[in-house]
Structure 1
Amino acid sequence: MTQANIGLIGLGTMGSALAQNIAEKGFPLAVTTLHPERVDSFLKDAGPLADNLIGAKSPQEMVDALATPRSLILLVPAGKAVDAIVEIYAPLLSPGDTIIDAGNANFHNTRKRADELAEMGLHFVGMGVSGGEEGARHGPSIMVGGAKESYAPIRPVIEAIAAKFEGDHCADWLGPDGAGHFVKTVHNGIEYADMQLISEVYGLLRDGEDIKPQEIGALFATWNAGGLSSYLMEISAEILQTTDPETNMPMVDIIKDKAGQKGTGRWTVIEALSLGQSASAIEAAVGARGWSADREARATGETLFPATALQAEYDRDDLEAALLAARIIAYAQGFQVLTAASEEYDWGVDMARVAEIWRAGCIIRSALLDDISDAFRSDLPDGRLLFAPAFHGALSKGIEAMRRVIATAVSQGLPVPAFSASLAWFDSMRQARGTTNMVQAQRDFFGAHGFERLDQPGAHHGPWGS
């Protein structure tokens, strides 16, 4: 083997897994890393897969190992590492070659890099890869953005390594420049909301009823067999039923309640606000991770403002219905942000296809995605996923259950930020006459910003003077 179909830079957890996936599917692959000494050990550990791998110790060796037009996947930390590699490799490549950033990059950076490399005749592809290490190794969900012609040479590889759902590839080209990375960003935002909602239900049962993790896990496993079927529900059930081998305690009970984040959830919220959209469930989840980091302050707060000792029971059917409704709302908000961005940047993203790509391989894969895909292929009332007929029953039942769940949580002093934000957004979206007429009057009073009247066209001012 003298030349490879494609190259990959970065042999960390995700890079190594994806490289093995590509090699296993029979595509010759050239590999290198920022630390060349890692190449030999990777090839040794690859076993029989090494027959489809070429190790490169320098940028020039990597470029020489690739058949033209060259395609080069980067799986390195987003930001400066990507810029550094692009700076090294771009002068070595030829017009028509493609650099593919498969990390969790900010789509604004992807758009900028695509424009810069286009001036050199090079393609820059932003490729979202979801599914973690397991997905990268055995079949992730892949969201590609960039010049459409740049997808053709890599399409056979991408489709071969992607997850499959009933024979359909969970990978596709979704639009130009930053479209793929933005879809992955919103995917992660929905992931934040879903994880937070599941955690809030766990918290209500743990703190509101003193239910043990094993029992909560068994309940989650039951729910996973129904309408809440999803990867996150599945692993949450398993987590809660896992015992720490060192202490023999429930594993979840010895994990510090301090959640990390890498930025994609926050980016989703920022872009939603900049596009004039609401992602309140995602914003609540991002906020919850933020204040989880402030454990010392929370400990002080518990001392100064001890929780009430009210006891309560949560109807299990209510919890299940409320969680399903809140999950629908999180998806609806995420897809509305995607729709707004697609219109703003002229991407033409096919929302139904996005839902189909997410049906396998990714973290937010769930039973809802078939209905979401079907909804986007039909006539949605006002173009809103929230109003899809397929979800009317689940929302009508779930919202009333959510009111009871939230009311009980509030009476106990238990925080449910994602549920509360979801309910407030839903109630806003079902109220034709809101209260921002008062906001507009206030703005006009102190700043003469003007307002629209219901009975006359044009801009107007109130009679309150300067």
Structure 2
Amino acid sequence: MSEAVADIAVIGLAVMGQNLILNMNDHGFTVCAFNRTVAKVDEFLANEAKGTKIVGAHSIAEMVKLLKRPRRVMLLVQAGKPVQSMIDQIAPLLEKGDIIIDGGNSEYHDTNRRYEELKAKGIHYVGCGVSGGEEGARYGPSLMPGGAPEAWEHIKPIFQSIAAKSGSEPCCDWLGNAGSGHFVKMVHNGIEYGDMQLIAEAYHLLHESLGLSYDELAQTFLQWNQGELDSFLIEITANILTYRDEQGECVVPKILDSAGQKGTGKWTGIAALEYGQPVTLIAESVFARCLSALKDQRVAAARVLPGSSLPKPEAFNDKKAFIEHVRLALYASKIVSYAQGFMLLSEASKVHGWNLNFGAIALMWRGGCIIRSRFLGRIKEAFDTNPNLQNLLLDDFFLKAVSAANNSWRIVTGSAIFAGIPTPAFSSALAFYDGYRTGVLPANLIQAQRDYFGAHTYKLISNPETSVHTNWTGRGGRVTSNAYQA
């Protein structure tokens, strides 16, 4: 078959690729399936795709011939060299106006570069974040496309049809130029790291401090999922804690406590440093995984390093009250995590001229994706009310929420410190909150130190436009200068 019959091609027949193809087929689109190992194409057509309109190609040249114009090719292959290799093979066979979509977790700098390189050849490049896992791909993912704006009208009908829905709205909209889609997906994944670490700390704290059984923990998370914390991750945590193996025992305590990671959380932390944004909770969540990986060292350290010898915190004596304190602390910390994530999105949007719509992003994350939650509806409302909102903490709803949780937050982190139970994400969230609400920070002393050892200058509150240097070891007084900017 060489007739152009396919609306889109999908390259990569791992489970995500297969499920996305089946999803597209369900919505009336003819899809061409291709895989580097071509035997997988025949296997897929004979089994999962049997009885559908899906067609297969045994070479990239055949795939291109099967595509209607403008040709739309979506890659679902491993980020890095595999993506670049596939682009290098496809691009010479395409024409001006054709579209390549990278649906993997590519680093956004790579997407920026590929966007420019393919633009020079007249090919429209799109970096599209895809969230929701295997089930989301099959029945409705969250899709975050950005890149060449000319491509949007040609992929919009497909993407918005297959995306998850929040009410009647698709969890998919155009984000901006170049690597904006992959940047938004990166921040999504960073927030996911934060959410998972916060939930893990709540679980650990309740188990260690109150001695809650796994059944009691499961019931606690089930109850939390009925209220403000309603989310996919809270839901699956309850399910995980409920699950029993063939011996009738909870599986969680049998799992090695060394967390893996694929890099997107680390990229978020690097981007936070690059753009000068204090995304401390996500960074701390990445470091917590790094610390968990030091299993042998931790076991050895546990034998020799002393823990707390302080009296048991009084808060632990009232089980019901402390569980509620932890719930509120988790909610407040979650607000900080998202506030930091949107701070990073805002700064990157300014730097790159993406003009990101933060309410639309919250909607995209409202359904289909891993961080989907009731909470995101409130974020959308906040940015719909005030598109120029500087920080989620300043929105009336979230201001009231963190105010209500304020004392519980401090009781939880303070009690954890007294008991020697690590809560890095809870603690960093509270430290950020206290730093953000502090009008005068000790950075004035840091500026004086920098000027003392490096003549980097400082500015006075009374005259913030002028740089000043002081001869700290002599009697020369201040020297006004603009020559020492650092």
- TM-score normalized with structure 2 length: 0.93
SS of 1:377 mapped into structure 2? helix
- 5 Å-filtered alignment, 1:341-352, equals 341-352=348-359
Q: Does 2:238 match 1:237?
A: yes
Match of 2:416 among 406, 409, 419: 409
Q: Which amino acid aligns with 2:451?
A: D
Alpha-carbon displacement from aligned partner over 1:101-138 (angstroms, at most 9, x marks no partner) = 00001000000001011111101100000000010010
Match of 2:38 in 1: 36
Q: Which of the numbers 409, 417, 426 marks the counterpart of 1:419?
A: 426
305-314 or 232-241, which deviates more: 305-314
- 1:460 corresponds in structure 2 to 468
Alpha carbons 1:14, 1:132 under 8 Å: kept: yes
- Contact 2:214–2:241 (Cα < 8 Å) also in 1: yes
Residue in 2 that maps onto 1:389: 396
Instruction: Summarize deviations over 1:201-231 as a string: whole Å, max 9, x none.
Output: 1001112222111110110100100011111
Counterpart residue number, 2:208? 207
Q: Secondary structure at the match of 2:144?
A: strand
Q: Retained in 2: the 8 A contact 1:381–1:387?
A: no
Offset, 1:165:
0.9
Matched, 1:169 2:170: yes
- CA distance in 2: counterparts of 1:465 and 1:94, whole angstroms: 69
CA contact (8 A) 1:127 1:144 kept: yes
Measured against aligned partners, the alpha-carbon deviations of 1:263-313 in whole angstroms (never above 9, x if no partner) come to 111111110111010111101100001111110000011011144476552
Question: 1:350-369 counterparts in 2 under 5 A?
Answer: 350-369=357-376
Distance change (3 Å), C-alpha of 1:79 and 1:47: closer
- State the SS of the aligned residue for 1:271: helix
Amino acid at match of 2:282: I
CA deviation digits over 1:14-55, x for unaligned, max 9? 11111111111110000111110100111112255x431111
How many angstroms apart in 2 are the aligned matches of 1:400 and 1:21? Answer: 47
Q: 5 Å matches for 1:288-307?
A: 288-307=288-307
Please give the alpha-carbon distance, in whole angstroms, between the structure 2 residues aligned to 1:390 and 1:148. Answer: 35
| One-letter code aligned to 1:12 | A
- Determine what percentage of the aligned residue pairs are the same residue: 43
Aligned partner (choices 342, 349, 358) of residue 335 of structure 1 = 342
Partner of 2:19: 17
1:194 correspondence with 2:195: yes
Of stretches 96-105 and 297-306 in structure 1, the one that deviates more from structure 2 is: 297-306
Separation in structure 2 between the aligned mates of residue 381 and residue 18 of structure 1, nearest angstrom: 35
Does residue 1:249 correspond to 2:238, yes or no?
Answer: no
SS of 2:52's equivalent in the other structure is helix
1:304-335 deviation digits (Å, cap 9, x = unpaired) = 11444765526111111111100111000000
RMSD value over aligned CA atoms?
1.4
- Alpha-carbon displacement from aligned partner over 1:153-184 (angstroms, at most 9, x marks no partner): 11111011100111100001100110000000
Count of residue pairs the alignment pairs up: 464
SS at match of 1:458: strand
Contact 1:272 1:279 in 2 (8 A): yes
Amino acid at match of 1:338: L
Mapped contact 1:10–1:74 kept (Cα < 8 A): yes
Letter in 2 for 1:38: K
Q: Which residue pairs with 2:180 in the alignment? A: 179
Partner of residue 260, structure 2? 260
Confirm or deny: 8 A CA contact 1:381 1:388 kept in the other structure: no
Secondary structure of 2:372 counterpart: coil
Deviation at 1:337, TM superposition (A): 0.3
Label 1:224 to 1:125 Cα distance change in 2 as closer, same or farther (>3 A). Answer: same
Task: Give 1:29's aligned amino acid.
Answer: V
Deviations 1:419-458 (A, max 9, x none): 0100000000000111100000000000000011011230
Letter in 2 for 1:419: F
8 Å contact from structure 1 (residues 209, 311) kept in 2: no
Aligned 8 A contact 1:127 1:145 in 2: yes
Asked whether 1:284 is paired with 2:284, we answer yes
SS of aligned partner of 2:447:
helix
User: Does the C-alpha gap of structure 1 residues 86 and 167 become closer, same or farther in structure 2, counting only changes over 3 Å?
Assistant: same
| TM-score relative to the length of structure 1 | 0.97
Give the secondary structure class of the aligned counterpart of 1:142. Answer: strand
Is 2:214–2:250's contact at 8 Å kept on the other side of the alignment? yes
Any unmatched runs of 5+ in structure 1?
A: none
Cα distance in structure 1, aligned partners of 2:144 and 2:262: 19
Match of 1:220 in 2: 221
Aligned partner letter, 2:271: E
1:433 equivalent in alignment to 2:440: yes
2:17–2:76 contact (8 Å) kept in structure 1: yes
Is residue 136 of structure 1 aligned with residue 143 of structure 2?
Answer: no
Over 3 Å counting, the alpha-carbon distance change for 1:227 and 1:307 in structure 2 is: same
Letter in 1 for 2:284: A
Gaps of 5+ in 2: 475-486
The 8 Å contact of residues 389 and 395 in structure 2, kept in 1 or not, is answered as no
Per-residue CA deviation, residues 86-107 of structure 1 (Å, 9 max, x unaligned), is 0111000111001100000100
Which amino acid letter does the alignment assign opposite residue 32 of structure 1? F
Q: Give the SS at the match of 2:409.
A: helix
CA contact (8 A) 2:22 2:49 kept: no
**Shift in CA distance, 380/347, structure 1 to aligned 2, threshold 3 Å:** closer
